[in-house]
Amino acid sequence: MPHHEKIALSGVIEHVFAHRFTLLADGRPYLADLGPKGAEAFALAPGLAVTLEGEQRPSEIKVLHITRKGGKRVEIEHKKPHHGPAHRAGKHADADPAAALDAVRQAGWEASGDPQRHPRHFEVLARQDGSEWMELHVDFSGDIYKQRPAAAHKWNVK
């Protein structure tokens, strides 16, 4: 998980977009995010003077604490989403390279070498009837959803 730099700012809320808002601080606008639960705990309004602390992300500041001028500090908790076993790696943790090769062979392709595992698919070097080598993208359910000429530098083919 990437490390995000902590930032503290004081300024005035300019615009509110549900649980996100722009803060004008030191003459510069910043996009900040309270999260849905944070917006319930702290009422955002344009023109409100606030001080906040948070994590600087590439696109916004994830607010961890926010205080209205003269008010008390409100802690904002950003819970990580809970994804069940069907989400990404859980769903595909036991993806089988042999199944990808079998799908390629059943589609009439001659595979060469081992499939290369990627987060959402396998890449297989294959060809049909002695034609040029192709790179096939095979999802974990066995569907070939992309094919393109094999790059010589990647697959060591001529």
pLDDT per position as a tens digit, 13-23: 999 999 999 99
Instruction: Please give the pLDDT value at position 50.
Output: 97
Which is higher by pLDDT, 90 or 62? 62
Instruction: Please give the pLDDT value at position 115.
Output: 93
Measured CA to CA, the distance from residue 64 to residue 61 in angstroms comes to 9
What DSSP designation does 80 have? P
Which is higher by pLDDT, 156 or 98? 98
* Gyration radius of the chain's alpha carbons: 25
Measured CA to CA, the distance from residue 98 to residue 139 in angstroms comes to 12
Lowest pLDDT segment from 18-22, 30-34, 75-79, 121-125: 75-79
Check if the beta carbon of residue 33 is closer than 8 Å to that of residue 22.
no
pLDDT over 70 for what percent of the chain?
88
- Mean pLDDT over all residues of the chain? 88
Q: Is the pLDDT of residue 93 over 60?
A: no
Backbone φ/ψ region at 138: left (φ over 0), alpha (ψ -120 to 50), beta? beta
Q: Is the pLDDT of residue 95 over 90?
A: no
Strands (DSSP E) contained in the chain are 5-17, 20-25, 28-33, 49-56, 61-68, 73-75, 110-117, 121-127, 134-139, 144-149
Residue 80: other Cβ atoms inside 10 A: 6
Instruction: Please give the pLDDT value at position 123.
Output: 94
Domains of the chain: 5-75 (2.40.50.140), 91-155 (3.10.450)
Instruction: Please give the pLDDT value at position 62.
Output: 94
Q: Is the pLDDT of residue 92 over 80?
A: no
The pLDDT of 125-146, averaged and rounded, is: 91
Give how far Cα 39 sits from Cα of 33, 44, 57, 62, Å: 9, 7, 19, 12
Tokens read off for 11: 């300024």
Residue 60: other Cβ atoms inside 10 A: 16
The pLDDT of 118-137, averaged and rounded, is: 92
Q: Is 78 exposed, middle or buried (0-12, 13-18, 19+ CB in 10 A)?
A: middle
Instruction: Please give the pLDDT value at position 140.
Output: 87
Locus of tokens 């390279």: 97
